[in-house]
Chains A and B, each alone.
Chain A
Amino acid sequence: MLVEGIKSRPVYGVLAPQPGLSHIIVAEGEGAEAVLRMAEAAPAGFFAKSHLIFVPRGGDRPDRADGLRALGAADFQSVGSPADAAAAVATLLRDAKMGTQVYVTGTEGLIGLVVQAAETAGIDHASIHTEHRGSMARRVQCVHCKGITENVTTQPVKCSHCGLTLLVRDHYSRRIGAFQGVCIDAEEPGTAPRPEELFK
């Protein structure tokens, strides 16, 4: 059902230490492993000018936070949700200077929110360093009621706001930080296929 080759579909990379005057690093759940792997290649003094924000996932191993804390970042903060992480990034970037690097790793939902916050602060999305880790769950915006449904793992999915059955597309909005969901059975209501778990 997914249309291939949609250009707005985000492409993620692999985190690597960049030159910079300061670094803001956001990790969610399994993303902690990406930060630990990046740390192996980090030059001396890298974490002394870094601010690390961690979003534990439900059922996360407690040693993940400990591992990140041990990196010795100038500042370490554990927050409750991707939205909180994005808000923390927005605050840090308010008076930031050029030379501030932003790294984000975790689910697509978290990456989308942080990229959105960084772009609003004036950073080109292409210069934000991202690595996808963990669940493939998507943030989906219903194009009909504009409501956002978080952690979507099935195709199709029921909009958590208006109840329409939505086809989740690869069509992505950086502005909103979400994939587009379009009513799948508008012509003949009730003929939607059974949801399959597609975004684990």
Chain B
Amino acid sequence: MNRGEGKLSVVVDRVDTITPMIKRFSFRARDGGELPRFSGGAHVIVEMPDGEILRRNPYSLMSDPADPSRYAISVRRDEAGRGGSRFMHEKVREGMELTISMPVNMFPSDRRARKHLLLAGGIGITPFVPHILELAAAGAAFELHYNVRTREQGAYAEDLARRFGDRVHVYETDLGEGFDLDAILSDQPLGTHLYVCGPKGMITDVIGRASEFGWPGQNVHYEEFLAPQPGKPYQVELARSGITVEVASHQSLLEAIEAAGVDAPYLCRGGACGQCETAVVSCDGQILHNDHYLTDEEKASGEKIMVCVSRFEGRRLVIDR
């Protein structure tokens, strides 16, 4: 397996249309070997050479962690997005070669849990598929509550319900259904860990309600990848590299740094992991902090910026890169 710079060369093995909005892509190693093992909750960054732009988007792995011959991801088409999901839907075909990152897991299950409570909304189901396969294989107690608009749009709902029976609860929000959060949160045995993945509003509701019900932060886990937000174009000086880069309105600062040939660390590219944290040398203007990694105090201090999702507006920004 070619692992140059922690990257994997893969071939698109299969493309399946799961719902009108969701496609599932299966990858195998280009050299036919085994892919590195991963654990439930892991994601990979898929590199998308889209004309002049090299896009890199994170996607949760959703294949069976026990099967090293394939990786699979699911991509929901986002018409309003920056183009990564449209690229995957329109350009990626079976037999195509792609470069992906090694798997990284920022959303693992806590194996000390007495029970795992999984709450999914829409495409947020993806990290839970390998979690469930792993937990079921380990004989761990789990319960999935999955909100989808319609059964037809509920990727994998039927399959999970068939395989895991009464441990899987599917709700069709178009029919006015939906999980009863208060009832679920107030009736879990001590030692339960809660995991939530889905739309931002749902994650916020679940975390807030769990806290009000006295769930300790140690037992509440969530994953939300933020897409870099577009904004006004701006310039940034890279102090260590001694160059100035232009950040276009639909480009992230990290992408601009990479396009200038400067190596910058990253893992999630979605404002969650903290790997791309960069010190601000000087700032005459406003940093638009879009991540949910830095604390409010750190954001207010203006001493750090997460270059994967945050932007700048103002006269001059110098960062330590």
Contact = CB atoms under 8 A, between A and B. Distances in A.
B33 to A, nearest CB: 40
A19 B212 contact: yes
Given A98-B190, A123-B190, A20 B213 contact: yes
B185 A127 contact: no
A97 B190 contact: yes
A101 B215 CA distance: 8
A147 interface: no
A6 B116 CA distance: 33
Contact of A20 (B189, B214, B219): B214
B316 interface: no
Interface string A107-130: 000000000000001111011000
Contacts of A100: 190, 214
Chain B, interface size category, equals 10 to 19
A19 B215 CA distance: 8
B213 A99 contact: yes
B52 interface: no
Interface residues of A, number: 17
Interface string B263-302: 0000000000000000000000000000000000000000
A19 B213 contact: yes
Interface string B186-208: 11111110000000000000000
A18 interface: yes
A98 B219 CA distance: 9
A90 to B, nearest CB: 11
Contact of A18 (B112, B185, B214): B214
Given A19-B213, A93-B190, A121-B191, A99 B185 contact: yes
A162 interface: no
Contacts of B189: 96-98, 122
28 contacts: A18-B214, A19-B211, A19-B212, A19-B214, A20-B214, A21-B214, A96-B189, A97-B187, A97-B188, A97-B189, A98-B188, A98-B192, A98-B213, A98-B214, A98-B215, A98-B219, A99-B186, A99-B213, A99-B214, A100-B190, A122-B114, A122-B189, A122-B191, A123-B191, A124-B216, A124-B218, A124-B219, A126-B216
